[in-house]
Amino acid sequence: MIPIHDFIPNPYNDNYMTYNKVFNRYSISLKYIIQAIGDDEIITKLGGNDNAEWILNHISEVTYAVIDSYTDSKYRDKMRYYFSHSKRLREWLLKTMIDVLIYSESDGGLYTAYATGINFNEMKAFDMILTNYVGRMAQQFIVNGGLAERVMRYDLDRMTNEFYDLHGALDYMHIKGYIDINDYYDRRIINSNGNNFDYQEIRDLFDENKFVAIQSPLDFSGVGERLYITHTLSSNKIHIQYEQGSFLELINNNTIGGNAIDNDDFYIDFKLEGSNNLIPNSVKYSLVPNGNGGYIVNEYGYWQQCLNEKGVNW
């Protein structure tokens, strides 16, 4: 499977690129076109936002068509999935499409005229040729970036994820719907506004040394996701420290203090009396120790799951 450090769970839009779930491809964002091309007047030259959006979409279509020409057709869906879920390839796709954009402008392919003398205003009716768009440098980016591979380099029928501890592995399996986390931990869901929060009940569980984990990362307002670091207990509160100074405090007047979070709620997991100690396994997945205190989750038939989500999550 795609390595964890490179894996993107779902393709996404940002200031640089937007993702089309129907055709499974990225295109340069209209927000980024001025910076990408280095021309403050580029949108005006292209006839406004609508024309610019059309051109960026066409550049994406042609770039992916060139990439697809390298791929064995029976691996095309898998390669498109890989392009959509790889951090590294996302960067190479952006770099390639920017170069196609620059090449097209400098050679007149999109913005002024073709070598044939066809005017830009007639472009939409013109029979486009791939080589009018993709220059030598973009082709080299495609090769250097690993976008020109004929077959899929990873086995998408089996996905492997490694976790530092059992809780992380079980929480992942709960999210995927393989298990119910409540069979393994006493999970308490706390609303971020504190309206369902009983301090003394939670404090007793901490004092009895039953704490296992708190949701991590949490999305702190204005700063983004932060990972849990540690917690401390004082006479009137539980201080929960996250990265870079972000924190929550569970206070004995049944309120929640600290930095605001964008999550509607968060969980705290505690040891469950008489909990299920069996490591879950199935024909769809297996959970095995990695020999270093962590665990590996193997998922089988993963590609079929991905195909069922085509057009939705990739």
**Residues of the domain holding 203:** 185-271
The model's pLDDT over 120-179, given as tens digits with 9 standing for 90+, comes to 455 454 455 554 557 788 889 999 999 999 988 888 877 788 899 999 999 989 988 889
Which of 37, 4, 45, 36 shows the shortest CA–CA distance to 17? 36
Name the domain count of the chain: 2
Instruction: Give the separation between CA 110 and CA 123, rounded to whole angstroms.
Output: 7
pLDDT of residue 112: 43
| DSSP class per residue in 79-146 | HHHHHHHBHHHHHHHHHHHHHHHHHHHHTTSSSSB-TT--BGGGGGGS---GGGT--HHHHHHHHHTT
Asked if residue 308 is part of any domain, the answer here is: no
pLDDT of residue 212: 96
pLDDT of residue 135: 78
The model's pLDDT over 266-281, given as tens digits with 9 standing for 90+, comes to 999 999 887 666 677 7
pLDDT of residue 106: 67
**Tokens at 29, concatenated:** 């964002």
Confidence of residue 2 (pLDDT cuts 50, 70, 90): confident
Residues 92 and 234 in one domain: no
Residues 24 and 136 in one domain: yes
Asked if residue 252 is part of any domain, the answer here is: yes
More confident residue, 269 or 310: 269
CA separation, residue 194 to residues 124, 126, 202, 212, 248 (Å): 57, 61, 12, 21, 11
Residues 10 and 146 in one domain: yes
- pLDDT (average), residues 77-83: 91
Asked if residue 180 is part of any domain, the answer here is: no
- pLDDT(86) > 70: yes
Asked if residue 159 is part of any domain, the answer here is: no
Residue type, 293: G
> CB-hemisphere CA count at 13 Å for 235?
0
Residues 60 and 109 in one domain: yes
- pLDDT(245) > 50: yes
Confidence of residue 116 (pLDDT cuts 50, 70, 90): very low
pTM, two decimal places:
0.59
